[in-house]
Amino acid sequence: MTGNRPGGQPRGARGTVGHPYTALNLRLVLAAFGLVVFAVLTWLAARADLLVLAVLCGVVVLTAAVDLVVIQHRRRARHRAEPGVHHSLFE
């Protein structure tokens, strides 16, 4: 966990553990939505023999997958820093 403090916030970030600077749960939902939508678009582009579009959509799918992993890592760090606290979608 290089570059992160125990609370899950990167060094030099505008927020604190008590007041995060990013809505991780909202980012998780949006990344999952992007992953699903672009996975379908990738499949449709591949079926239509649009190779360039399929590759571009596939890159977006991979980016969304990596983002999901990073977000989940940060959510777990936040959970370890604040056990028993449940966050809404927008915090």
Return d(Cα 64, Cα 49) in angstroms, integer: 23
Position 28 in a domain? yes
Q: How confident is the model at residue 76 (pLDDT cuts 50, 70, 90)?
A: confident
Helix, strand or coil, per DSSP, at residue 48 = coil
Amino acid at 55: V
Position 72 in a domain? yes
Extract the tokens encoding 77: 């760090």
Position 41 in a domain? yes
Position 29 in a domain? yes
Question: Does 75 score more than 90 pLDDT?
Answer: no
**pLDDT for residue 23:** 80
**pLDDT for residue 70:** 92
Total of domains in the chain? 1
Mean per-residue pLDDT, 22-41: 91
Mean per-residue pLDDT, 32-49: 96
Predicted TM-score (pTM) above 0.75: no
Position 88 in a domain? no
Domain coverage including residue 35: 24-80
